[in-house]
Amino acid sequence: GDYEGALRPQVHFSPPKGFMNDPNGLHVGANGLYHVYYQYNPTADVAGNQHWGHATTTDGYTFENQPIALFPPNNETFVFSGSAVVDVNNTSGYFPGQDNGVVAIYTLSNSTSQNQNIAFSKDGGYSFEPYKGNPVIDIGSTQFRDPQVFWHPQTQSWVMVTVYATEFTVGIYTSSNLKDWQHSSNFSHHGLLGIQYECPNLVEMPVEGSNETMWLMFISINPGAPLGGSISQYFPGSFNGTHFEAVDSVARIADFAKDNYAGQFFSGIPGTEKRLSMDWASNWQYTNNVPTANEGWRSSMTVFRQNHLKKLPNIGWDLVSSPFNITSQFSQVLASNSSLGNNSILLDYSSVPSGALYFEANITGLTPDTLAGSLNFTFTSSVSGENIQGGTIPGGTTWLSRRNTNWGAENPYFTDKFSSEGIYSGSENGTWTVSGILDRTILELFVNGGEQSGTMTFFPEQPLDTLRIGAKGIPQGAGVSVAVWALKDAW
Ligand code: FRU
């Protein structure tokens, strides 16, 4: 593919051409290679004709496009979302003498049914052969999809979560061989319902400051998110191999902006210390309209994110989500100031070939009585004057704005401002940090190392090339530091 287009992210995955939505089949292969599959329409730049596209990466940023992995079985039936596992112990019986067999578990969808199917790969996840006994689960429904499967060592069993979408229900199934599945329980009508549940994940999560783990039920809803369209929510809780129980009934939203959906967690990483995920960085409300089609492609993913749970004093359980190993993509320091005070830095980064930056601003030395001031940033195009902006108040709200970019003003769904108000407030240790990845048409913002995150796409007519970042109104006794790095051109 041609990744030279001015709108093409350079440290984020986007498809070679055509349309992409959900990440699928995320897993770490036997040799430590990361496999990313995705909902893919290779023949048009709008959703439809769903295949599983495929790419691999050793570092989470430098991707190699691979041949399409799963094709529609006929021209009315499509390959919808699902997951993949490495069948190390050959439980399926399909991989004698092999410990790197990959099994994809996915939905086949047409106008009369949605059911769950599997396919086997003997070559480490590149080519797949559908199981002759498909479908492996069929309940006679047209709204039954998105199976996520993982190995549960405590019960020596495979577990699947999959949605009865319009019944707002996650079905939990178990299997010893990935072919025969037993229904175990349902998790239903929790949190925000929207119009449908989609893309469930159930994962064991590390807990900050403890050796314990907790389970996380992650559910995407679309349409009907609070800001419109699609968003994901999560429920911390416990899981015994057959039943999931949430700690409470709170609907925790994973992202305070509007371009983060259908996230999936990787399977196959031993232990839970490196719990990685990737999300689709778009929204069903406007994904088929964004102007990247002029360059022949639509949609990018978030970067790989590292996740854990943390109990915050004021709001309780929180999913902390931050970029995986981003320092590996630093090319040079563009600015660094550890005593900025109530000032700002102005940086022209038009000479950075990737157009992609990582930035971080910190306030230290705050006390509960002096939570004041703000950290602020603006990325501007020196040619068109378009900009995007953001900021955060210590102990309080974080916001983002794309209102000053030309594309989207006439689209009623392309919400122009976002804030975390009501989702979060508080501060620990007298510090407050904001960091982010700016990559041409996508910004991923993280507060306090990922206690809050916001994913925002935007489509300037001219490339953004100037950053102003700094602090205002920070109290006496507090310190401000700012640093900005250029990111490598991963494509
Ligand atoms: C979520 C979703 C899934 C479905 C897929 C189809 O974005 O609607 O429920 O499997 O996309 O492309």
DSSP conformation letters of 68-125? EEE--SBTTBEEEEEEEEE-TT-TTSS-TT-S--EEEEEEEE-SS-EEEEEEEESSSS
Q: Is 123 a catalytic residue?
A: no
Closest CA to 488 of 338, 325, 339: 325
Looking at residue 275, its amino acid is: R
What gap in Å lies between CA 176 and CA 195, rounded to an integer? 33
Mutate to test the pocket of ligand 1, among 24, 105, 199 (most ligand atoms within 8 A of CB): 199
344 CA to middle of ligand 1, Å?
43
Q: What is the DSSP letter of 29?
A: -
Task: Please give the single-letter amino acid code of residue 338.
Answer: S
How far, in whole angstroms, is CA 197 from its chain's centroid? 17
Nearest-atom number in ligand 1 for the CA of 199 is 9
Asked if residue 242 lies in contact with residue 231, where contact means CB atoms within 8 angstroms, the answer is no
Query: pLDDT at position 45, please?
Result: 97
With a CB cutoff of 8 Å and minimum separation 6, the contacts of 28 are: 34, 35, 86, 266, 267, 268, 269
- Pocket of ligand 1 from Cβ distances under 6 Å: 21-22, 39, 50, 80-81, 107, 145-146, 198-199, 262
Residues 6+ apart with CB under 8 A from 102: 27, 29, 35, 84, 85, 86, 87, 120, 121, 124, 125, 128
pLDDT of residue 1: 45
pLDDT in tens, the chain (491 residues): 469 999 999 999 999 999 999 999 999 997 889 999 999 999 999 999 999 999 999 999 999 999 999 999 999 999 999 999 999 999 999 999 999 999 999 999 999 999 999 999 999 999 999 999 999 999 999 999 999 999 999 999 999 999 999 999 999 999 999 999 999 999 999 999 999 999 999 999 999 999 999 999 999 999 999 999 999 999 999 999 999 999 999 999 999 999 999 999 999 876 666 799 999 999 999 999 999 999 999 999 999 999 999 998 878 999 999 999 999 999 999 999 999 999 999 999 999 999 999 999 999 999 888 888 999 999 999 999 999 999 999 988 999 999 999 999 889 999 999 999 866 666 678 999 999 999 999 999 999 999 999 999 999 999 999 999 999 999 999 999 999 999 999 88
Q: How far apart are CA 387 and CA 456, in angstroms?
A: 13
Residue 273: what pLDDT? 64
Rounded Cα distance between 408 and 246, Å, is 38
CA dist 291 → 4, 8, 182, 367 (Å): 15, 11, 45, 46
3-state DSSP percent of the chain in helix, strand and coil, to 5: 5, 50, 45
**Dist. CA 398–CA 56, nearest whole Å:** 34
Best residue among 81, 109, 298 to mutate for probing ligand 1's pocket (most ligand atoms within 8 Å of CB) is: 81
CA of 56 to the centre of ligand 1 (A): 22
What's the start-to-end Cα distance of the chain, in Å? 10
Question: 335 forms bridges with which residues in the sheet?
Answer: 484
| Cβ–Cβ under 8 Å, residues 56 and 31 | no
User: How does DSSP assign 195-244, residue by residue?
Assistant: S-EEEEEEEEEEBTTSS-EEEEEEEEE-S--TTSS-EEEEEEEEE-SS-E
Atom in ligand 1 nearest the alpha carbon of residue 47 = 12
